[in-house]
Structure 1
Amino acid sequence: MRFLILLLFPLFLTSLYSQNSGDNTVLKIGKITVTEEEFLNRYQLSPHFSDNELNPDSARMSFLYSLAAEKLWALEGEKLMADTSGIFINSMNSLKKMFLKDELYREVIDKNIAITPAEIDSGVRRFTSVVYVKMIACRDEAEAGEIRGLIDAGASFDSLLALRPEAKKQTEPFEVKFGSFDDTALEDSILFAPDRYISGPVKARLGWIIFKVTEKVPNPLAVDKPETVKSRVRNVIYERRSLKLTDIFMSSLLGGREISGNEEQFRKVLKLLTGLLSVKNISDTEGYNLTENDLKSVYYGLSPDELKAPFVYTGENSPSTADFLFYIFYQNARFRDNRPGYIAEVLKMYSRYFIEHEALAAEAVKRGLDLSAPVIHDTEMWKDNYLAQSAAASFSADVKITDDELKEYYEKKSGGVISSTQVNILEILNTDLDVISFVLEQLAAGADFRELAREVTQRTLVKEKGGEWGWFNADMAGDIGKIAAELEPGQIYGPVKTSVGYSVIKLIGKRKGSDSLSHSFDQIKDYLRQQLYVKKVSDLLTEKTVKLAGEQEIFIDIEKIRSLNITPLKVFTIRMIGFGGRMAALPYTTPFYEWVKYLKKPLF
């Protein structure tokens, strides 16, 4: 099985910006510049049709042309003022705040974390064991002392636990290993306890406990290479220190401030979300993440004044209701139930996070981090991608198929056939980046695609069929159909960004289809209209891209591009945002490169 996918494991990235001396431009179109770093990162972390090992130059060139098309359409989007729409402005504001928050984290948290070799060695000693325990939770030290006294007098720990409410959550013992607790003293008392040991009263974060060691086994991960183990240990120490520093910083940032919510705006958003989610088939195990279409539905359900109204009152420049909507969308807010009461609780939780998010972004601006190179670079890269998508969508929206065109097409083909590529795919669709990362990791390890689809796909119509679509014309299914037509049976590709989430597909069949036009015009006109629309849009986008290329001065350093040391990483990249949050590490570049064939002169 061959994979055309972005993953073997999640890769957690911060900003992709790096400072290098000298001119490292590989592509320049008008005022837009693409550096070696941007090209390299976006190429390595994107799926490709060509097998890089067999034909690296072909894959590299196809990606170059697709990226060049994105930049050309970004310039067109700017000319069309696509960046002035409310949706666009709010999207970019929300993204920029995430980049600001991330840069602030590096400034006040990351730079202040230093881990010594001695701390690593100490952590490695703790990493060697996994301990399984049962716990009796107590209100205070006095109660814990009484229970320990009963055990000393001969009472059975298990019998005492069975009488307590926490026993219901301990049908299996808790697993404790290095990094399980924020409280290192509690964790050490368990990790260094002998097998079958019953503790005395131990202070915990929310009270006191008495624990019993039921089993102590070697940590299977401790047999990894020493450097791998040290890396795992370092990550645990870093995370613990980061949490402590973050608590201190957030207390200083928000302590003493008066912040209140706008109840009226909260109720309006709740009403719209409740109506939207009430018709969704939401599973408690899988949950439901808001899609782009959901966001637009709620956004356009509010008036311009309501969108501008403060969602929370924080003093000067209180964040708006639109700010909150885009925040929960980019945070991949998940709903596991569609009861109004539950939705209200989820919104309250995200409202609290939103207050912290806005305060952090404002602090970053106060420190001048909005002018930092990483924030400017990341914002511009995503802005180009959004502008290109907006301009191309706006251009396509004007495409119409007239009745005369349709009739003429039918008459030309009447008595003949329309040839098209038909495909059959398996698909896993999900709005959650973590789920997609898990799926791709499992596929790379040899998991069965159909079984995974039955477990996690959110495409309910094909869930029980293991994600199988059945035969369909490739030119009738947008990017998914276009990509499927390029694959060979057995190949997997993804993720593909769509308006309803991320898709991973596997081609299980491909054939040349022929649709007879012996039917009457009225019987097949809707089918013909859709087919003609797809063809017309593709032809017009290609024609327009060629025209845009002719209007711009394009510089390509082909020697630099060919000399780049590129290793396809095959990882699904999630960018972890400092102070909390995650997003796709890079904009998705739609494969679009055949326009180059129609240029009057080569690009280089």
Structure 2
Amino acid sequence: MIKYVILLFSISFIMQTKAQTDDEVIAKIGNIPVTRKEFIQRYEMIPQLDRQMKGITPQLKEEFLYGIIFEKLFAQAALEHRLDTVEITSYSIHEFEKMFVRDALYNKEVAEKAKGKAQQLLADYFSNATKVFARALYSPNEKEINNYSSLLSKGLPFDSLMVELPEQSKDTLAFEIGMEDESLERQIFSLPEHANTLPIHFEDGWYIYHIVKRYEPILAKSQGWESEYQQIKKVARRRAEREYFVKYMKQMFLNKKIEANGLLLKLSTDKIVLLLETKAAGKKDDKDKLYLSSEDFYTLEKSELADSLTKVFVKLGKKNIPLKSFIRFLNFENPGFTSSEKRDVLSLLSRKTREFIEREVLAEEGYKQKLDQTNEVKESLGIWKDFLLHQAMQGTFLDSAKVSDEEVAAYYAKRNSKKESPPLVNIIEILTNSLETVDTVLQKLKEGIDFKILAKQYSQRELTKENDGEFGLFPTTSFGEIGRIAGLLKIGEMYGPLKVPEGYSIFKLTDKKNSKFSTDEEFSMMKEKLKRDLAFNKLRSSIIQYSVELARKYGITINENLLKATPVTNLNSVIYRYIGFGGKITAVPMMTPFTDWVEEWKKVNTAP
């Protein structure tokens, strides 16, 4: 008993110490802290190929921290400018809050209440085998399989029967706790070695299973029992939560009066089909799914469905939900369509309508229980709110990137007078708007698959499709952040995923050259390209200058010792957070650290 108390005290002490450590502030930007916990989560859960290649270094940790600091600076500025009240920003923040409220409701009403049942299941599993090896006797005919069963029940050895049936498979099958077919699992695992099941019917015929060996690694504490324990524990929790989930959903939607506007659903289907048809033409493989981009959803809102957005799409009792909310839900979910056929699109949108309704009802219940006021929800929302606010603040700089014809002409004249040209780079790129594809690519790169093979298979950029993702030489002033970052890489180095307007870009530098200045290029031929390059440079310069101003205004303090002492790992995978009652998001916002302002800030900050 004394040992048990001491053990509990030790665990409690360790947990308290860890909690205190996680809450330590690694940096402070004005009134906004960056805790050690947030830094570790975001560093480890945002994949970056350059970190994988260079390893964990103090410089990379510092650069990443400055990326978070940049986000917090702009988030504070956004609040000062009341950008949180702008319709699209306010809507986005509220949608994230609703999602975390639903998750908190699931934890309260399902996960917590299912813990007792999970412990009971776990005890049952541990008192039994966790893996069973068996052989199968098959027949497509019920009468024949019953004859086999009768012979076995009268004492005929299974092996002897199999000798008389040479066409039967001799393979040994492995069954584990956690099978999808729980009924079959119960029949298999309830039997001792050398026993036979009764005939079991499946779609392709009838089976009798003969138990060859029962495997009990947890009871025997044999090699690998710890991982087996964790796996069984997950199965018990999942099954217990599933049972309570079904009960809760039945109770929640009992006698609920819900109406969905079928005409608006069909109209939305027609408009989405038109957008998907253009994408279907460029499919490389029939198995590839079709995704709508943010620009596609913008088109739906601003033109295709503009006249219908305010119409009531769903009625939940006295609450009316407009079509606009459903379209934005689709934008957030970004479902993959198997084809552009109207029947398939309507089928998917019907399922999404059901999910949309369920989540609205559940969020409403969560707010009734005041779950939005819990620390759990506030902490989850905090990181995402800062991220969304910083995006909104960055969006206000787009006007500063507008370039007049006079400015382009002056830029061209200055370039000619100095006879300077930016370096040229060549990259192979994988562009995708699917984070699942990003994760697949990262895993295949880990396995050593050639980058160009992956680009040929996965890249969606129309411009480079003919060349399997290869750009050809282009100046580092082109293609925005892609060109700028490519100019900083060494040949053979990879970078990504980088968030770009079209989705996510992963690229590899294959060549770099100093370009020769030429006066042969006429201004009329270069004007549009120069305008894009100059606009990007103006935008970047404006953001750098404003970042420095904000850093001086709010003040930045960094606990250098804590930063150095904070251990991190390079997971380099896309990590998801699965939300209670359905849905998933990336575990943390997918931030591309912007640190170009830091050097200028340090100069200004140290100036007398």
| Bin for the TM-score computed over the shorter chain | 0.7 to 0.9
Candidates 174, 180, 185, aligned match of 2:183:
185
| CA-CA distance at 1:464 after TM superposition | 6.0
User: Which residue of structure 2 lines up, in the alignment, with residue 262 of structure 1?
Assistant: 261
User: Which residue of structure 1 lines up, in the alignment, with residue 251 of structure 2?
Assistant: 252
Q: Does 1:210 align with 2:206?
A: yes
User: Which residue of structure 2 lines up, in the alignment, with residue 277 of structure 1?
Assistant: 276
User: Which residue of structure 2 lines up, in the alignment, with residue 97 of structure 1?
Assistant: 98
SS of 1:506's equivalent in the other structure is strand
User: Which residue of structure 1 lines up, in the alignment, with residue 14 of structure 2?
Assistant: none
Task: Figure out how many residues of one structure are paired with residues of the other and give that number.
Answer: 558
Name which of structure 1's ranges 230-239 and 34-43 shifts more when overlaid on structure 2. 230-239
User: Which residue of structure 2 lines up, in the alignment, with residue 487 of structure 1?
Assistant: 489
CA 1:193–1:462 in structure 2 vs 1: closer, same or farther (change >3 Å)?
A: farther
User: Which residue of structure 2 lines up, in the alignment, with residue 234 of structure 1?
Assistant: 233
Cα distance in 2 for residues equivalent to 1:301 and 1:516: 44
Deviation per residue, 1:112-143 (Å, 9 max, x gap): 223366345357x343548789796xxxxxxx
Candidates 305, 320, 323, aligned match of 1:321:
323
Candidates 510, 516, 519, aligned match of 1:517:
519
SS of 1:572's equivalent in the other structure is coil
| CA-CA distance at 1:337 after TM superposition | 0.8
User: Which residue of structure 1 lines up, in the alignment, with residue 426 of structure 2?
Assistant: 424
Cα distance in 2 for residues equivalent to 1:82 and 1:437: 33
CA 1:332–1:525 in structure 2 vs 1: closer, same or farther (change >3 Å)?
A: closer
| Amino acid across the alignment from 1:210 | W
| Amino acid across the alignment from 2:96 | L
Cα distance in 1 for residues equivalent to 2:315 and 2:324: 14
Write the mapping of 1:115-134 to structure 2, written as runs, cut at 5 A: 115=119, 118-121=123-126, 125-127=129-131, 129=133
Which structure has more relative contact order (CA 8 Å, sep 6+)? It is 1
| Amino acid across the alignment from 1:249 | Y
User: Which residue of structure 2 lines up, in the alignment, with residue 349 of structure 1?
Assistant: 351
| CA-CA distance at 1:20 after TM superposition | 4.4
Candidates 528, 543, 546, aligned match of 2:545:
543
Judge conservation of contact 2:136–2:207 (CA < 8 Å) in 1: no
| Amino acid across the alignment from 1:74 | A
| CA-CA distance at 1:52 after TM superposition | 9.2
Judge conservation of contact 2:476–2:487 (CA < 8 Å) in 1: yes
Q: Does 1:561 align with 2:563?
A: yes
User: Which residue of structure 2 lines up, in the alignment, with residue 68 of structure 1?
Assistant: 69
Deviation per residue, 1:289-329 (Å, 9 max, x gap): 23222222222236778434432211133433222222223
Candidates 468, 471, 474, aligned match of 1:472:
474
CA 1:405–1:275 in structure 2 vs 1: closer, same or farther (change >3 Å)?
A: same
Deviation per residue, 1:167-203 (Å, 9 max, x gap): xxxxxx9987436644423134357899999965547
- What are structure 1's unaligned runs of at least 5 residues? 1-17, 137-143, 155-172
Write the mapping of 1:247-396 to structure 2, written as runs, cut at 5 A: 247-281=246-280, 282=283, 284-301=286-303, 306-396=308-398
| CA-CA distance at 1:371 after TM superposition | 0.9
| CA-CA distance at 1:69 after TM superposition | 1.3
| Amino acid across the alignment from 1:601 | N
Write the mapping of 1:162-177 to structure 2, written as runs, cut at 5 A: 177=175
User: Which residue of structure 1 lines up, in the alignment, with residue 529 of structure 2?
Assistant: 527
| Amino acid across the alignment from 1:187 | E
SS of 1:569's equivalent in the other structure is coil
| Amino acid across the alignment from 1:431 | N
SS of 2:321's equivalent in the other structure is coil
The structure having more radius of gyration, on CA atoms, is 2
| CA-CA distance at 1:584 after TM superposition | 1.1
SS of 1:455's equivalent in the other structure is helix
Q: Does 1:44 align with 2:44?
A: yes
CA 1:127–1:478 in structure 2 vs 1: closer, same or farther (change >3 Å)?
A: farther
Cα distance in 2 for residues equivalent to 1:278 and 1:199: 52
Name which of structure 1's ranges 584-593 and 426-435 shifts more when overlaid on structure 2. 426-435
Write the mapping of 1:75-114 to structure 2, written as runs, cut at 5 A: 75-111=76-112, 112-113=114-115, 114=118
| Amino acid across the alignment from 1:121 | F
SS of 1:319's equivalent in the other structure is strand
- What are structure 2's unaligned runs of at least 5 residues? 1-17, 152-170
| Amino acid across the alignment from 1:292 | S
| Amino acid across the alignment from 2:24 | N
Judge conservation of contact 1:307–1:321 (CA < 8 Å) in 2: yes
Cα distance in 2 for residues equivalent to 1:574 and 1:475: 34
Cα distance in 2 for residues equivalent to 1:453 and 1:213: 46
| Amino acid across the alignment from 1:211 | Y
Judge conservation of contact 1:457–1:463 (CA < 8 Å) in 2: yes
User: Which residue of structure 1 lines up, in the alignment, with residue 7 of structure 2?
Assistant: none
Cα distance in 1 for residues equivalent to 2:212 and 2:407: 76
| Amino acid across the alignment from 1:527 | K
| Amino acid across the alignment from 2:104 | E
TM-score, with length taken from structure 2: 0.81
Name which of structure 1's ranges 463-472 and 266-275 shifts more when overlaid on structure 2. 463-472
SS of 2:569's equivalent in the other structure is coil
Judge conservation of contact 1:103–1:369 (CA < 8 Å) in 2: yes
Deviation per residue, 1:415-469 (Å, 9 max, x gap): 7643323322222233333332222122212223233333333335545644323
Name which of structure 1's ranges 408-417 and 227-236 shifts more when overlaid on structure 2. 408-417
| Amino acid across the alignment from 2:332 | Y
Cα distance in 2 for residues equivalent to 1:495 and 1:569: 14
| Amino acid across the alignment from 2:278 | V
Cα distance in 2 for residues equivalent to 1:27 and 1:306: 47
Name which of structure 1's ranges 234-243 and 367-376 shifts more when overlaid on structure 2. 234-243
SS of 1:496's equivalent in the other structure is strand
Cα distance in 2 for residues equivalent to 1:424 and 1:267: 46
Name which of structure 1's ranges 569-578 and 66-75 shifts more when overlaid on structure 2. 569-578
Name which of structure 1's ranges 319-328 and 176-185 shifts more when overlaid on structure 2. 176-185
| Amino acid across the alignment from 2:420 | I
